[in-house]
Structure 1
């Protein structure tokens, strides 16, 4: 599909879209489309027709995102909160450097500051998630937060807050699980890149769902994977395991979140997919733990 021939969203003319409102036929982008019983409606039609002539009341016509979540006043709120949390943990690490070793992903204990530090294999499973919010270099956090804002903002608007947060957290866990499985147990790993790659994987699914031109998205994925495997120098080594693990996990969750369905069936598919992915991640972690103990 040639995006140059597609109309622009009536609220965001710079965004080409192949989706239109089922009531007024105006073109609408993912941020503006609201799920209806058949197809999608624009915010104007939903606002003007909410509760009228249906007998079901305004609640039945509450604005919904493409994935069925409630349309929020600030569609990027969770993305902003996540950026704030990453920044807060970064500043905390600068203020208390010794705390970093208790937050980073570590499979088995090593000696830091003359004392042994435990790892995931000894029961510190929280490291799989705490490491996703941890950075120790300014360029590392800036790069990840730019990626989070650029990729995460539109995805949050399309999924809704809860579903978007589920993709982010599960992608981070998926990336950490693959790192834990494939790297030496005393290799420290940290950063939000696995979660950001997961958002990218879900974005690929979103673009496919909306029948957008796939080449720009696939080029972005390819470029980010090339950067993953090309040494950049500096004091940190890029963890390809986190990137690939996050990308695959995000795509899997995205397929469940964006599968065409309505009502309870859609919710069952979405949260069922999250549960299955979480169990797969847990299985990988338990297998690796069994090897190290």
Structure 2
């Protein structure tokens, strides 16, 4: 009997983000964070709230698409750690660029997942503005969009997005030393001296 495919955690996480947004709408729950003003717990709660429906659905798209692919080729644990690490470093921008305003949203974490996937599997096909292209092009497009948006006054935290992208990229570089079993999510670290195996696996991923 064929094994029933497990639903990726990233899709459950998207459902959780919808639930949090419903709480915001119907109960007045406010997970936004303002540096030096909000309760410290809001620094973390703000990862899961959103400013409006468009903001929410944009992040669900990123996490549902790139998050699912990333999770399936690595592991549930890696997806969670990557999202949280990227979101934390993205929110640090509140103390630098947004001291007088609230920040909210999963965008920093979502951008980190995107960039980790792009660096770890640069030739994997993704979507950039609706066009199927390799992930390294997807990453370049979103880096340029966010760089261009700095100082635009649109209310979007482009600096936070860039911090998330940077964090995810560093995680992707670190992951180059790991080989993930896509069946059970286990991981194997390739030793520093095992260069023949590293080269063989690199060729299989990117050249063959």
Deviation at 1:106, TM superposition (A): 0.9
Please state if 1:95 is matched with 2:26.
Answer: yes
The corresponding residue for 1:216 is 134
Alignment of 1:26-175 (within 5 A): 73-74=5-6, 76-97=7-28, 99-100=29-30, 103-109=31-37, 119=38, 124-175=39-90
Alignment deviations for residues 189-227 of structure 1 (CA, whole Å, 9 cap, x no partner): 11111011101111122224xx66997323222322343
Whole-angstrom CA distance in 1 between matches of 2:99 and 2:16 = 27
Residue 100 of structure 2 corresponds to residue 186 of structure 1 = yes
Report how far residue 185 of structure 1 moved: 1.9
Separation (CA, whole Å) in 2 of partners of 1:236 and 1:94: 23
Higher CA-based Rg = 1
Higher RCO, 1 or 2 (CA under 8 Å, sep at least 6)? 2
Q: Which whole-Å CA distance do the structure 2 matches of 1:268 and 1:80 have between them? A: 33
- Cα offset, 1:188, TM superposition: 0.3
Match of 1:242 in 2: 160
Q: Which moved more, 1:155-164 or 1:213-222?
A: 213-222
Q: What TM-score comes out, normalization by structure 1 length? A: 0.53
Helix, strand or coil for the counterpart of 1:132? Answer: coil
User: Structure 2: which 5+ runs fail to align?
Assistant: 127-132, 181-185, 193-208
* 8 Å contact from structure 1 (residues 207, 213) kept in 2: no
Question: Per-residue CA shift, 1:3-29, capped at 9, x if unaligned?
Answer: xxxxxxxxxxxxxxxxxxxxxxxxxxx
Residues 212 and 91 from structure 1, CA distance in 2 versus in 1: closer, same or farther, beyond 3 angstroms? closer
Shift of 1:137: 0.8
**Structure 1 counterpart SS, 2:66:** helix
Q: 1:157-215: CA deviations, max 9, x gaps?
A: 011111111111111111111x223224221011111011101111122224xx66997
SS in 1 for 2:111: helix
Shift of 1:248: 1.0
Equivalent residues, number: 176
Say which SS state the counterpart of residue 104 (structure 1) adopts.
coil
Q: Assess, with a 3 A threshold, how the Cα gap between structure 1 residues 154 and 182 changes in structure 2: closer, same or farther.
A: same
Q: Find the counterpart in structure 2 of residue 11 from structure 1.
A: none
Tell me the distance in 2 between the aligned counterparts of 1:258 and 1:140: 32
Q: Give the conservation status (yes or no) of the 8 Å contact 2:62–2:114.
A: no
Matched, 1:266 2:183: no
CA-atom RMSD in angstroms: 3.1
TM-score normalized with structure 2 length: 0.72
- Label 1:268 to 1:144 Cα distance change in 2 as closer, same or farther (>3 A): farther
SS at match of 2:81: helix
1:203 and 2:126 correspond: no
